[in-house]
Amino acid sequence: MIQTRRRVLFVLFGVLILLDIARSIYARVGYEQPNAIWQPDPAQYAELNWPPGADLPANAPIGQRVYAQHCAVCHGPDGRGNGPAAPSLRPHPRDFTKGQFKYKSTPVGQPPTDEDLIRVVSEGLQASAMPYWRDLLTEQEIREVISYIKSMSPVFQKTTPRPLAIPPRVPADEASVGRGKALFAGRGCSVCHGPNGRGMIPMIDMNGYTVISRDLSAPWTFRGRSTPEQIWLRITTGLAPSPMPAFETVLIPTERWDLVNYVLSLRRPAPGEPGGTLDGPGQQPDLLRRGEYLVRASMCGICHTEINPTSIYRGDTHYLAGGADC
């Protein structure tokens, strides 16, 4: 009886070993050759030769070389916002060929000035993937790369941009804040930013990409800076191609200042300040939206979705149980 049990155990053990060997062989054979290779449309995500800029001729202009080495990974080799890093980024990298620039001092319909572009490249855009370059690039390199970027769009050849004159600020007293609050509700600002200005509502921009409305209680996340003058410009000129409209022809200058004063009154303590807490998109009570943000912010798609031979991953449509070999 005991010997029979031992035989049964040995047989079961042998079967398990054979099954494990078969599984290992099956997996090895299955992973040797992919069933399909995902390759994005270059208009959506373009490949780069690595390291970036290594394929440029020795006599390439400074601006072109700086762009290839530092900018093309996000903005694409031709400036179309289709670099290999683009799947990770929300908002999507700027498409320079369309001449659409958000953070500028010029009226609607005019491109930014060189000073506007220098400020963005030098200082970066807060709470975004756009870093500041002032400590890595020289002033000449920044000017050269700006000239190269401007060559990608015809809008800079059509007109000479001129900055708007910013009128004196209305005193930020209780009356002004009250008028701004009424304008915030009456002019539709609360539709995108919420009744309390907390925003974080997903929307679609003119190019079909998802953008998240700004949390106005967190001015440290304002990409165009949070000085009163810069907020007045954002309200005046809008943020095309985002859903944020221009109010230059809708509100008179003093009303725009009332809105600025109201927006600044919404400020809450920043994390790290007395009374401040972490309360951004990574802490949303809606678990689905929080998870979506964290999946993108943590670049989970690098491992958990299909990936092409040059490491562009398919993060826009679906995620899998496995992807690249991490």
Alpha carbon of residue 38 to chain centroid: 24
* pLDDT band at residue 290 using 50, 70 and 90 as cut-offs: confident
**pLDDT tens track for 145-200:** 999 999 999 999 888 899 999 999 999 999 999 999 999 999 999 999 999 999 98
| pLDDT given at position 177 | 98
pTM of the model: 0.84
* pLDDT band at residue 284 using 50, 70 and 90 as cut-offs: confident
Q: Evaluate whether 257 touches 169 at the Cβ level (below 8 Å).
A: yes
Q: Evaluate whether 96 touches 149 at the Cβ level (below 8 Å).
A: yes
φ, ψ dihedrals at 283, nearest 5°: -120, 20
Please report the DSSP string for 26-79 in residue order: HHHHHHHS-S------TTTS----SSTTTTS-TT--HHHHHIIIIIHHHH-TTS
* pLDDT band at residue 19 using 50, 70 and 90 as cut-offs: confident
- Alpha carbon distance 322, 202 (integer Å): 27
- Alpha carbon distance 242, 169 (integer Å): 26
Q: What percent of the chain has pLDDT over 70?
A: 96
Q: Evaluate whether 295 touches 301 at the Cβ level (below 8 Å).
A: yes
| pLDDT given at position 323 | 54
Q: Evaluate whether 146 touches 118 at the Cβ level (below 8 Å).
A: yes
Residues ≥6 apart with Cβ < 8 Å to 324: 302, 303, 307, 311, 313
| pLDDT given at position 166 | 97
Q: Does the pLDDT at position 6 exceed 80?
A: no
- Alpha carbon distance 39, 313 (integer Å): 9
DSSP state, 208? Answer: S
Please report the DSSP string for 63-127 in residue order: HHHHIIIIIHHHH-TTSSS--TTGGG-SSPPP-GGGT--SS-SSPTTSPPPHHHHHHHHHH--TT
Cis peptide before 93 (omega within 30 of 0): no
Q: Does the pLDDT at position 274 exceed 70?
A: yes
What structural domains does the chain harbor?
A: 62-158 (1.10.760.10), 174-265 (1.10.760.10)
Show the CA angle centred on residue 81, arms to residues 78 and 82, nearest 5°.
80
| pLDDT given at position 3 | 67
| pLDDT given at position 324 | 55
Please report the DSSP string for 144-193 in residue order: HHHHHHHTT-THHHH----PPPPPPPPP--HHHHHHHHHHHHHTTHHHHH
Taking residue 187's Cβ as centre, other Cβ atoms within 10 Å add up to: 16
* pLDDT band at residue 90 using 50, 70 and 90 as cut-offs: confident
- Alpha carbon distance 181, 189 (integer Å): 10
Tokens of 261: 């004063």
The residue assigned the tokens 């972490």 is: 278
Closest CA to 260 of 165, 183, 163, 164: 183
**Distance set, CA 164 to CA 102, 203, 213, 229, 256 (Å):** 15, 28, 25, 11, 14
